[in-house]
Structure 1
Amino acid sequence: MNTGMEDLYREVILDHYRAPRNKGSLEHADASCHLHNPLCGDDITLALAVEGDVIRDARFVGQGCSISQASASMMTEAIKGKTVAEARELIDRFSRLMRGEIAPGEADLGDLEALSGVSRFPVRVKCALLAWEALDKDLAQLTRPAPGG
């Protein structure tokens, strides 16, 4: 990756870290999940509001490194207005990007591709994926049958 692109990606990450989008609690969430990475201290609670099959709102509360917080901010932006199936597809593509299985240009993830450089640092991949793991758990809550039903 050229230096100009790395600088641009770094700026996108820092922008989302310094001014996170969708940070805060979400009243009347349809699904919520709290995850903590004990290795580095990253912490996130992700809440979703869903109408039908569409993610109407997504908010997170947490603390941690710039990568984990920027990833959560960027993810919430990316999933709003998407269907549950589209969100699952995003989880798959982003996870594959983080594992180095697909190149940034092939991932078709927009600004999320700014995090592609993290794949070169295996210890930091968990930071980038924490919010996405919470999203996966939230989506599982939405599709799980109601108790007693």
Structure 2
Amino acid sequence: MEIKQLYREIVNEHNLNPVHKGVMEAPTLKLRGVNPSCGDDITLQLKISDDGIIEDAMFDGSGCAISQASVDMMADQIIGTNKDEALKLASTFMGMIRGDITDEKEIEQLDEAAALHDVSHMPARVKCAVLGWKTMQEILDHPEKNEI
């Protein structure tokens, strides 16, 4: 199987069968993210322990396959991390999408989210891919924006 086909299947699986889609009971942080250019609209919910570990991450909302798959993959990646680790993953993801990060070892840290690497060649889809990641950065950097 060709690697691009495998990546398409990973994205498709996260879009059709998202593990982290739903409404979380008693989240610690919650923030809505919108991509008006294509209609993606998500609400990211994070449960953070007293010692700063992201214990759970969920999203609700609608959007294109890329936005939905990306936020689901992101949730997989950040559960079990602390704020700094989650923000570093987001920085790596943004760098990959912008084409600034090309080092395979660095990109491998993104696990399945690395499947979105080719989005960097599709400018119209970049905002879709980064919506969940930007929303996560925003709520972690600015918890005063919490919508709970």
What's the TM-score once normalised by structure 2's chain length? Answer: 0.91
Q: Which string of whole-angstrom CA distances, capped at 9 and with x for unpartnered residues, describes residues 50-98 of structure 1?
A: 0021000100001111000000110001100011110010010000000
Percent identical across equivalent pairs? 40
**C-alpha distance in structure 2 between counterparts of 1:47 and 1:139, whole Å:** 11
Query: How far is 1:103 from its partner?
Result: 2.0
The unaligned stretches of length 5 or more in structure 2 are none
Write the letter of the residue equivalent to 2:25: E
Question: What SS does the corresponding residue of 1:15 show, helix, strand or coil?
Answer: helix
Q: Which string of whole-angstrom CA distances, capped at 9 and with x for unpartnered residues, describes residues 83-123 of structure 1?
A: 11100100100000000111262322111100001000111
The unaligned stretches of length 5 or more in structure 1 are 145-149
Moved over 6 A (4+): none
Equivalenced residue count is 141
Aligned partners of 1:104 and 1:113 also within 8 Å: no
Q: Which string of whole-angstrom CA distances, capped at 9 and with x for unpartnered residues, describes residues 2-32 of structure 1?
A: x811000000000000000110011211111
Tell me the residue number matched to 2:42.
Answer: 44
Residue 46 and residue 24 in structure 1: after superposition, are their counterparts in 2 closer, same or farther (change >3 A)?
A: same
Write the letter of the residue equivalent to 1:53: G
Tell me the residue number matched to 2:6.
Answer: 8
Q: Indicate the structure (1 or 2) with the bigger Cα radius of gyration.
A: 1
**C-alpha distance in structure 2 between counterparts of 1:53 and 1:104, whole Å:** 29
Aligned partners of 1:104 and 1:116 also within 8 Å: no
Tell me the residue number matched to 1:147.
Answer: none
Tell me the residue number matched to 2:92.
Answer: 93
**C-alpha distance in structure 2 between counterparts of 1:130 and 1:21, whole Å:** 18
Residue 29 and residue 18 in structure 1: after superposition, are their counterparts in 2 closer, same or farther (change >3 A)?
A: same
